[in-house]
Amino acid sequence: MINNNSLYLPEIARIVSVRQLTEMEKYFEISTEGKKEFSFNPGQFVQLSVFGIGEAPISISSSPFNKDTVGLCIRRMGDVTTAIHKLEIGASVGIRGPLGNGFPVRELKGKDILFIAGGLGLAPLRSMISYVLEKRKDFGRIIILYGTKSPGELLFRDDLETWRQIEDIELIITVNRPDKDWTGRTGVITRFIPSLELEPQNTYALVVGPPVMYKYALLELQEKLIPENNIIMSLERRMKCGVGKCGHCQINGVYVCLDGPEFRYHTLKFLSEAI
């Protein structure tokens, strides 16, 4: 999708819907209005431009079967994401991508999938979860562990409710700091790994969350004897170009934009600066 004749030139796209998910996150649907079909793998990302402010890498949250729009869950953090939060339906933005590789969808077929999402980590995993639900028969067990700091930070509540209703999905939601209305599970997400009964050789763990979560998730997954090849993590790095030139996302010898953003633990364990 990246054209070498215009490596840094974004497509002009329009915001077609905006939904406030939490205090910090909004969900934007963006369309190139038929100029370009948007094909991507779950786990890929785009470089999103607000002209005059800059460009930022954002993972794709929408289903890969919807090729008309691309859905981006954006936390208000830096200059670009703050500017995007001020935009409304109809506003023009720039989009480059999809970039990166995404999850190894074919390899995952027939396997049990354990999704572990911490906080904003649900954003890239939602695309893969949508894929798995669309092709439900192609996969084994589906387990979704999702945790946030507080109940107010839970993303995509409609989806969580839908997933809860689906019988053959095991959904575990937890918050670290419950409020007085919270009736669900509490505690860090990795606490809920030990009680899972998994078939390690047939299970793939897709893990996305803050760096601190990776350390504990890895310990628990290794305790469960999940092979290192089957633990796939998506990494966040600063990116300027998204095409392997600018050097910002480099971790030891790999580029997150070109070689990732998903990495297997058996690759990551040799990268001292990864997590």
Residue 48 within binding range of other proteins, rule CB under 8 A? no
Residue 16 within binding range of other proteins, rule CB under 8 A? no
Site string for other proteins, 208-227 (x = CB under 8 A): --xx----------------
Residue 269 within binding range of other proteins, rule CB under 8 A? no
49 vs 230 by CB, closer to other proteins: 49
| Residue 79: exposure state from Cβ atoms within 10 A (0-12, 13-18, ≥19) | exposed
- Return the range that interacts with other proteins (CB under 8 A); candidates 24-32, 74-82, 110-118, 189-197: 74-82
Residue 1 within binding range of other proteins, rule CB under 8 A? no
Q: CA-to-CA distance for 135 and 81, rounded, in angstroms?
A: 33
94 vs 227 by CB, closer to other proteins: 94
206 vs 251 by CB, closer to other proteins: 251
Provide CB contacts within 8 A for 71, sequence distance 6+. 27, 28, 29, 30, 60, 61, 62, 63
- Residue 174, SS3? strand
Residue 119 tokens read as 């906080």
Q: CA-to-CA distance for 117 and 121, rounded, in angstroms?
A: 5
Residue 229 within binding range of other proteins, rule CB under 8 A? no
- In eight-state DSSP terms, residue 3 is -
- Residue 171, SS3? strand
Q: Residues 189, 145: contact at Cβ < 8 Å?
A: yes
Residue 186 tokens read as 């509490």
Q: Which of residues 104-123 bind other proteins (CB under 8 A)?
A: none
Residue 46 within binding range of other proteins, rule CB under 8 A? no
Q: Which of 16, 87, 160, 258 binds other proteins (CB under 8 A)?
A: 258
- Return the range that interacts with other proteins (CB under 8 A); candidates 144-152, 188-196, 217-225, 241-249: 241-249
Q: Which of residues 158-217 bind other proteins (CB under 8 A)?
A: 210-211
Q: Which of 17, 20, 39, 78 binds other proteins (CB under 8 A)?
A: 78
Write down the least CB distance from residue 120 to other proteins, Å.
Answer: 9
The closest alpha carbon to 80, from 47, 110, 45, belongs to: 47
Measure the CA angle with vertex 146, ends 82 and 112; round to 5°: 125
Q: In what order do the strands lie in the sheet with 11-20?
A: 54-59, 45-50, 92-99, 11-20, 25-31, 69-75
- Return the range that interacts with other proteins (CB under 8 A); candidates 146-154, 165-173, 190-198, 238-246: 238-246
Residue 194 tokens read as 């030990």
Q: CA-to-CA distance for 69 and 23, rounded, in angstroms?
A: 24
Residue 53 within binding range of other proteins, rule CB under 8 A? yes
Q: Rule CB under 8 A: which residues touch other proteins? A: 2, 4-10, 12, 49, 51-56, 75, 77-78, 81, 92, 94, 210-211, 236-238, 240-241, 243-248, 250-253, 258, 272-273
